[in-house]
Every structure is written in structure tokens, then in C-alpha cells.
Copies of this chain bind each other. A is one copy, B any other.
Amino acid sequence: MLNQRMIQLGTNRSAIRELFEFGKHYEHDHGEGSVLDFSLGNPSAPLPEVAEKVMRELIGVKGVHDYTSAPGDIAARKLLAASLDRRFGGEFTFNHLYMTMGASAALTIAFCALTSEEDEIVLLAPYFPEYMVFAQRAGAKVVVVSADEEFNPDFEQLERAINPHTALVVVNSPNNPSGKVYSRATLERLADILTAKSQEIGHPVYLVSDEPYREITYGAEVAWIPSIYPDTVVCYSWSKSLSLPGERIGYVAVNPACRHADDIIAAVAGAGRSLGYVCASSLFQRVVASLPDTTCDVNVYKTNRDLLYTALNGMGYHCISPDGAFYLMVKSPLGDGQDFSDRAKELGLLIVPGESFGVKDWVRIAYCVPKERIERAIPLFEKLAPAHE
């Protein structure tokens, strides 16, 4: 009767959420600022003013709060498809876009659409831990491929991992948790492997490109993956680019050049329906369609990254300067990431152990926080620094 797997998922929160909830309760008991929380990717750059303006204008407009078609309002999707084509030179039409309630919904839908029971999903470490949960919902098996010390995929391991059961590989660049942005050369090598392997096993291995951080970069090129590997399905969210993660608005975009594109489009719609998604927020569909090229002020994150990376590097920590997103990975000076996270927590510093990202010797610091919080954290990181061990 009661589903034990669901009880377990509801009881054992993700490591990220566990720390975040701990921090909220601790602050509630000990006062604001009593804990320095770097756990959650809650954007700190303000919502762009133009987005506020657009929202205000749309509220109450006739029809704006009605049901849209299940894949989304056609006019909104036309604007968004045109924006993709303008920026990336694709051939997207509204029909290739399915509006979703954020990237998590998009990924769950894509996994359910692109896999059948017992198929395999390949994740490239480090990866967003909830991929595991979404894959389980699809009934698919997860295979993890390790990264090298620069957070590039171990390509030989990838080649060995792909077999006739492989349905898709997930790419997330800019990456959560590492901030890594794959170079064009890396993506081309990935595409070459997937092309050869698809031919070898007799069916396409799709790339699911999870791109909520596409616009959160500090100069590095974020190559448009569908132009490098045609069998790509893009999952996008405006949570980070417009700083409205609570509003849950994103899409699944099926590359027109995908093999079986029409079937994928149908399967995406079917998966959305069967997961209880009726349509994405009708208001926010229009908000994002009105602002297809707007991004929050990324300099807020760049300032934080520079401050934090320089400080930690100077203290002798091993970390890699992130080119995008708003996370920094630090190798645990204690060997195990969990030990480091525990020690930090004793000092009131909340950083997420790397194990659930598939890199257990690391911790993730989400630096999408007020700058002052980083300044207050630096002396605490100093206390924990390798030199002091």
C-alpha cells in the first residue's frame, strides 16, 4: 500500500536540502547570520527590473491565466524558438519546444520519454544528484563515468560504458557542482564517441543537455551542443538566468535534426501528461517569452568567484577556478568530503560534501550568496586550511 520508496525519498532529503534545512532552523533558533550557508543554488543576483515590469503588465490581461495548450502557448513558443534560431543558428519552430516547470521537470520528462524500462542513462561525474531520482522515476539504470582532475570526462571509460542498453548521456555544462564549462574540443570529442557508438550499437545514443547555467559564465564559450551533436535534447530553465527559481519555468527543446524528432516530441508531451504536468505557468510562459535574451547581472557572481577562489587558493586549498555557474569545488584537505563538511559545519559553515555528486573527496561551495557572507567565511576557511592540518 503506502509506497516505501516514496517514504524513503521523502524522509532522506538530498545532502543539499539537508544542509539548507539545517541552516534555516539554526538561524531560526540562533538569529540571522548565525550560520554561513553555502549549500543551495538560490540565485543572489536580483531579478532584472525589466522582468518585474513585464510581470506587472501581464497580470490580469485577458486569457493570461487560462490553461495553455499542454506544450505551452504557441505565441510564446514561437518567440522562444526564434530566439534560439537567432542566437544559435538552428531551425527550431514552436513545435520543438515543450514548456515545463523548470529544469527538473524537463529532465524527468526527457528521461521518461527517451528511455524504456531497463535502459541505461550515462552520467558524467560530477553530476547533479537529483538525476539519480529522475532516472529511477523513468525506471532506467544509471551508469556513472568519472572525470579527470580538471573535470573533463574520462573518455575511455565513457566508451566502455556505452552498450546496446544505453539510451542517453547527460551533459551539464556549465556544470553544477564544478562550474566547469566544457570546451568545444571536449564536446566534439564527446560527439565523435557518441556518433561511433550509436553506429556500433545500431540506435542513437541521445545527449540530454541540462543547461540552466547556459548564461551564467565569465568569458568562456558555451558552445551550442545541438550544432555539434544533432541527436540532442536540451533541458533549460530560467531559474538562474532570470533569478526566479521558485517560479519553475523552463523547457524541453528537441533539436529538429534529432533522429526520430517527431516521436520524441510526442513522447515528451506524453511524459509531461503522465507525470501530472498540465501546462507550465501561463503567466511565466509569457514573461520569459517577452525576455528571451535577458539575463541577470552575472558580475555579481564573478565578483564572488574571484574573491573566494583567490582566498582559498592562497590558503593552499586545491580548487579549480570555475568558468561558469555559481559553484566552486574544493578538494577536502581531510581526504573525505564528508569529514570536511562536518568540520566546517561545527564552525557554522555549510558546504555540501561531494559524495552525492559522484566525487567524494570534494565539497561544493555555492557562492550565489551576498558578498559579505564570503568575507565572513574566509577566516573560517583559514582555520580549516591545509596548512593548519
Contact = CB atoms under 8 A, between A and B. Distances in A.
Interface of A: 1-11, 17, 21, 24, 40, 42-43, 47, 52, 55-56, 59-60, 64-70, 101-102, 104-109, 112-116, 119, 130, 133-134, 136-137, 167, 203-204, 243-248, 260, 263-284
B10 A278 contact: no
* Residue among A11, A107, A203, A267 with the highest chain B CB neighbour number at 10 A: A267
Contact of A66 (B108, B130, B245, B281): B245
Given A7-B266, A109-B276, 12 more contacts: A1-B203, A4-B116, A5-B274, A6-B271, A10-B268, A11-B266, A42-B67, A47-B65, A56-B56, A101-B278, A246-B279, A247-B283
B2 A114 contact: yes
B276 A5 contact: no
Contact of A55 (B59, B247, B274): B59
10 tightest A-B CB contacts, nearest first: A246-B282, A108-B276, A10-B270, A9-B270, A10-B269, A6-B270, A10-B266, A65-B244, A6-B267, A52-B60
Contacts of A276: 101, 104-109, 134, 137, 275
Nearest to A115: B3
Contact of A113 (B3, B68, B133, B270): B3
Contact of A265 (B10, B40, B263, B280): B10
Contacts of A112: 3, 6
Contacts of A60: 47, 52, 55
A5 B113 CA distance: 9
Which of A2, A7, A204, A266 neighbours the largest number of chain B CB atoms within 10 Å of its CB? Answer: A2
Contact of A104 (B55, B114, B278): B278
Contact of A3 (B11, B56, B106, B114): B114
Contacts of A65: 47, 243-247
A280 B9 CA distance: 18
Contacts of A106: 276
A114 B10 contact: no
A370 to B, nearest CB: 12
A248 B47 contact: no
Contact of A246 (B119, B260, B283): B283
